[in-house]
Amino acid sequence: MTRVRKYHLALIGVALLILVMSLVRVISGHNDITSSGTFAAALGLAVPIGLAGLGGLWAERAGVVNIGLEGMMVLGTWFAGWAGYQWGPLAAVVAGLLAGALGGLIHAIATVTFGVDHIISGVAINLLGPGITRFLSEVLYKEGTGAAEAGAGITTSPAMSGKAWEGSLPFLSDQTDVFGWLERTHWFLISDLAGILGGLTRDVSVLVILAVVMIPLTFYVLWHTAFGLRLRSVGENPWAAESLGVNVYRLKYIAVVISGAFAGLGGVFLVFVTTKYVEGQTQGRGFIGLAAMIFGNWRPGGLAAGASLFGYADGLQLRSQGAITTFFLFGAILLLIYLGNKIRLMTRPGQPAELAGRTAKDYTIMAGAAAGALVLIWMWMVIDKLPNEFVYITPHVLTLLVLLVASQRLRMPKADGVRYRRGEQH
């Protein structure tokens, strides 16, 4: 019964969010806010973040902090580019997965077997990944080699041979382009829904479908199987799990290697987008994926929401830099909704007696929300267009703000980052 209620609340939240976006589009006049192009870009930008976040989720649910996701993603991009230009897309996927998994294995050896501090090991991998890939590029892509003749350089690989499959999802985006027609009408809510569905269903890469499927699959494996229960118990209390006969070391290794494979798959997706490896193309997505995982409270559904948020912010600034200012109006409306809900709860008859002592704190929060809404509305009315320097860092600023808000309700695995030794009670 609880799961059903949470499911309904999630649907209501999504519907409310779309309604607010439609309202913001009508008020601001920026149609790119809910256009199919924006959501297609957002989906493509959210996928590598979501895959990196899934990697962090698997590792940290087993009690291993993995901030080396960025380095593992870099390894995935290089090996996917190297294998892709020689043997095609399938080889790129396999090579990227194995390279990311290798990075995860190194992290597991350092942290699980040798007890190295998880943060230090992750930083080392983030330094090691770009260093190794630059060395391999200089060795394999130097002048005179076949790769150099095919267009490779020190910072890029040759273009991938062959083309990955992509197309429109059946029954949702057909030849008549109904979504496109409805989107161009700019009707309130209807055109917004058409733009969102059109952007999410046209020209979808097979890796996008795979990444989306991994979200519910991860939830099922970790929360509805005996294997997942054992793995999560290792992240909560490895000594208690050990007393029940669970092989803690093995599960930690499996989780961290899977973590690296997910990060590597995120790197593969970036190579599929550009059709080749380009040095620096991850652009910190491994770290943003980690932030999305924390925003999602170490759960797949919340992680997907966080990745979507960061992908949308990035996609919007690529499509329309002027529309970035609508975030001010969007934030003001959300604050006003929060304020109204707070007032409704406080004025509801029959409040429990224990809530009486919280009124001062509640009034302070409500006053802050009202002041914040007024400031955001004023900024939206005054600022026509943000400078390019601020536009480009929007996703990263949003990351910090989201983490600041999400930190109030986080509940990480209890043994996350704790050094484990068999037989030694912590």
CA-nearest of 314, 324, 308, 311 to 30 is 324
Query: What are the structural domains of the chain?
Result: 36-163+206-321+389-406 (1.10.3470)
Q: How far is CA 356 from CA 70, 343, 344, 346, 363, in A?
A: 47, 14, 15, 10, 12
Residue stretches of the chain with pLDDT short of 50: 1-2, 4, 175, 353-354, 356-357
The two tokens of residue 292 are 């999305």
Instruction: Report pLDDT for 1.
Output: 42
CA atoms within 13 A on the CB side of 223: 12
Instruction: Report pLDDT for 353.
Output: 47
Instruction: Report pLDDT for 175.
Output: 47
Taking the CB of residue 175, how many other CB atoms lie within 10 A of it? 6
The two tokens of residue 339 are 């304020």
Helix 36-61 and helix 89-108: axis angle, to 10°? 40
Instruction: Report pLDDT for 234.
Output: 96
Instruction: Report pLDDT for 214.
Output: 96
DSSP string, 304-369: HHHHHHHHHHHHHHHH-GGGGGHHHHHHHHHHHHHHHHHHHHHHSSS--GGGGGGHHHHHHHHHHH
Instruction: Report pLDDT for 113.
Output: 95
Instruction: Report pLDDT for 222.
Output: 96
The two tokens of residue 67 are 């901030």
CA-nearest of 133, 158, 159 to 148 is 158
- pTM score: 0.89
Instruction: Report pLDDT for 350.
Output: 56
